[in-house]
Amino acid sequence: MKKQSCIFCDFISGNRKDNINGLPFRPLKETKHSISFLAINIPKKTKINVLVIPKEHFRFVEDVPKNIITDLMNHSQIIIKSLRKKFPGVNILLNDGKVAHQAVPHVHFHIYPRKKGDGFYKGLEKGFISNGNIKEFEKTYKEVSKLLKK
């Protein structure tokens, strides 16, 4: 079976210098196990989307060894601390798997700085279980608890 190419792995190895839209790959920070850089899908409101990725290829987050997950979170913490100088909030997003809109099958955390009223979650409000729906809450709790016991 032929190994599928990974754009992130190509960036890390130096085999690729530019992204699919011609924007350059420029590392922001690098550690032993991780690297961060600007993503090409940058929100108009904050103008920043930083990706933090492991240098080694892992498709799903559960495949990443604990020491590398620790490095990824520490790396993310450094990025967030820096962004906090200008932005009062931050979201960390992990799209894990194709149905979760993971465009590049290489584990990566999106770090989105946030400003008050930026509209980041617009439209999501209607999809949440209301605070008063204890029946739905209990049902969901039981489902997740059962999965954790397997």
**How do beta strands 50-54 and 34-38 pair?**
antiparallel
Q: What is the C-alpha separation between 34 and 54, in angstroms, rounded?
A: 4
Q: What is the C-alpha separation between 67 and 49, in angstroms, rounded?
A: 24
Q: How far is CA 1 from the centre of its chain?
A: 29
Distances (CA, A) of 78 to 30, 65, 73, 84, 123: 11, 20, 9, 10, 30
Catalytic residue (choose from 33, 75, 106, 108):
108
Q: What is the C-alpha separation between 42 and 134, in angstroms, rounded?
A: 38
Q: What is the C-alpha separation between 66 and 50, in angstroms, rounded?
A: 22
* Residue 108 bears catalytic tag: yes
Active site residues: 108
